[in-house]
Every structure is written in C-alpha cells, then in structure tokens.
Amino acid sequence: MTLVLNFESISLKKQAEYSEYLATCSQKVSDYSFINLWGWAKEHGLEWAWTDDLVWIRQTVPQTRYWAPVGRWKGIDWKSCLDEFNGTQVRFIRIPEKLLRSWKESCGDRIKIAEERGSWDYIYSVAELSKLAGKRFHKKKNLLNQFKKKYDFKYISFDSEMIDKAMSMQQDWCTWRDCESSEALTAENNAISRILINWERLNGLVGAAIIVNETMAAYTVAESLSKDMLLIHFEKGNPDFKGIYQAINQMFLQNSAQNHKVVNREQDLDNEGVRKAKLSYHPVGFLKKYAVTLL
C-alpha cells in the first residue's frame, strides 16, 4: 500500500468527523480528545492528515514527532503503513498500550520501545472520589469538610455567564502562579483561554464552578471520553480558600459524573509535585503510553 499523508492544521470544522474516528479506537486516552488536540495545537504545532481508515497526527514543536493514528486499529496492515515512513529514526510518541501490542506483532524487531511514564493517564473511581470514604481519603475529606464549614458557597454548572467568570479567574490564577515565568504554565493558559473563548463551538464540554461571596473560587472543565470514562481537562482553584481543590474535585464528580464509572485526570508530565498530588487520590489504574522509534 502507498500511504499518502497531506498534513494540515487541526480545524474546528472537522471535530464531529474526527470524533467518529476516535470512537472506533479500542483504547481512548486523553491526548486524542479533539478538545486536547485543538486546544493545544498551537503550542505543540499539531497537524493531522486524513486517510480512509485513520487520522494521522504529528507534532512539529519543538521538533517533529508523530503521535498514534486515530481510527479503527483492528485490521490495519501496520507493517506496510510504518514502512512508508522513510528515513531513519522516525519517532512516535504517546502510543497507547493496545496499539503498541499490534505494532509489536506486526513489526517485531523493527521498532524500539521506551516507556513514557510522564504521559500515562491517571484513572480513578468516580464512586471513591465522590464519597472520599475510609482512611485512605481521610485528609481529603477533612479539607473538604473544613471548606464546607468555613465558607458560604454555591456549586453552579457552567452557562455563558460562568464562562466569562472562568476566563477572568484564569487570568487571576495566572497572576497568582506567575505564568509569565513558566513556559509550561503560559502554554497551558493559552490552551485554556482558547477553549473557554470558543466554548459554544466545541462539542461535548461540561463545566462547573464554586462561587464564594459572588466570586468564583474554582472551576473545572471536562468531557465524556467514552461511555464509562469522564475526562477532566482543567481544574483551577483560588489558593486563598483552604480545601478548594478537594471541594471542586468532589462536588463535580458527585453532581456531574454519576453516569461514568471512572474519571481520567490526565498525565503528570514527570512533574514530581503533580505526580505526588495525583497519587494521593489513589488511582485505580493507568492508561500507559510509550515512545516508539522505527529502526
């Protein structure tokens, strides 16, 4: 077979069509949500190329790397597909574990595999994080209760008014965290702003906020990645309110995630502080991803 890939910018016009391809993937990880691809496209220089069976994705910033193709992986002649990538040391990243198994069966010694621990998705039980029961969650439950007792708050689902307030709070959050001094925080802020500004044009997003004294104290943005899995994209809180992160986490899952069994809270990107925080919520599993170099 001849694989002809004409890469182009990731477009809002194709979000529904792309979602149909993603729905056929046998393993859905956070990276390949349309919201993530489009929201982070400028920061990563993301592009896509469409064939009859698959959507191929590549990253051009800070260097060219290919991501996993999206679509129905079963029945694809992977050896022929990968043979079309001429040149030495072509590198793929963010390859889900199930796709890697197929590549190993088809390509054998032609690929070199490396674990990408920082890109693994953290998976949690919705029921556990909604209840925070037991000794494992004692500290989280204690902070949640402190928040509830100390503050007169309201939990509100997103509407157009909340979007404007979330954008304002995001600007404040960046000031608190000094986003300008961090490339990673600046990139995240750009992606968040892009998504909030285009909220009504993006399919499937849900969000909620906690309001204290008419001021937004926290907000969260999510989408349904599959029938059983809710994906949390962003979660931001005002550090002046003790227990605010425990509150927005628990309240959102309790109020808006009961139709899902698990919640995907994305990666830690090898950040030790983020990893410690994610592990403290006791994940029930991971969606593992790998880097693959064609030899």
Q: Which of 120, 138, 163 is the last residue of a domain?
A: 120
C-alpha–C-alpha distance, residues 106 and 252, integer Å: 43
C-alpha–C-alpha distance, residues 185 and 162, integer Å: 22
Helix axes 183-197, 160-177, angle to 10 degrees: 170
What's residue 88's pLDDT?
67
The residues facing 219 across adjacent strands are 209, 236
C-alpha–C-alpha distance, residues 179 and 161, integer Å: 25
Residues 169 and 65 in one domain: no
- Going from the C-alpha of 163 to that of each of 192, 193, 214, the distances in angstroms are 11, 10, 15
Residues 71 and 127 in one domain: no
Establish if 277 belongs to a structural domain: no
Residue 178: other Cβ atoms inside 10 A: 9
Residues 132 and 115 in one domain: no
Closest CA to 245 of 259, 256, 234: 234
C-alpha–C-alpha distance, residues 272 and 254, integer Å: 28
Residue 135: other Cβ atoms inside 10 A: 7
Residues 134 and 253 in one domain: yes
Do residues 211 and 60 make contact, with C-beta atoms less than 8 angstroms apart? no
Per-residue pLDDT of the chain (295 residues; tens, 9 = 90+): 568 899 999 999 999 999 999 999 999 999 999 999 999 999 999 999 999 999 999 999 999 999 999 999 999 999 999 988 876 679 999 999 999 999 999 998 889 999 999 999 999 999 999 999 999 999 999 999 999 999 999 999 998 778 999 999 999 999 999 999 999 999 999 999 999 999 999 999 999 999 999 999 999 999 999 999 999 999 999 999 999 999 999 999 999 999 999 999 999 999 999 999 999 999 999 999 999 999 8
Residues 132 and 106 in one domain: no
What's residue 243's pLDDT?
98
Q: How many domains does the structure of the chain reveal?
A: 2
What's residue 85's pLDDT?
85
Do residues 222 and 206 make contact, with C-beta atoms less than 8 angstroms apart? yes
Residues 92 and 193 in one domain: no
Q: Which of 72, 100, 120 is the last residue of a domain?
A: 120
Say if strands 229-237 and 262-264 run parallel, antiparallel, or are unpaired: parallel
Round to the nearest angstrom and report the end-to-end CA distance of the chain.
20
Residues 259 and 136 in one domain: yes
Residues 98 and 212 in one domain: no
Establish if 158 belongs to a structural domain: yes
Establish if 284 belongs to a structural domain: no
Do residues 208 and 255 make contact, with C-beta atoms less than 8 angstroms apart? yes
Residues 242 and 107 in one domain: no
Helix, strand, or coil (residue 124): strand
Say if strands 121-125 and 262-264 run parallel, antiparallel, or are unpaired: antiparallel
Establish if 286 belongs to a structural domain: no
Residues 84 and 138 in one domain: no
Establish if 164 belongs to a structural domain: yes
Residues 38 and 147 in one domain: no
Establish if 273 belongs to a structural domain: no
- We report the CATH number of the domain holding residue 64 as 3.40.630.30
Q: Which of 98, 120, 142 is the last residue of a domain?
A: 120
The residues facing 78 across adjacent strands are none
Establish if 282 belongs to a structural domain: no
What's residue 2's pLDDT?
65
Locus of tokens 């956070």: 30
**What's the pTM value of the predicted model, to 2 decimals?**
0.96
What's residue 72's pLDDT?
97
Residues 178 and 92 in one domain: no
Quote the domain boundaries for residue 20.
8-120
Establish if 271 belongs to a structural domain: no
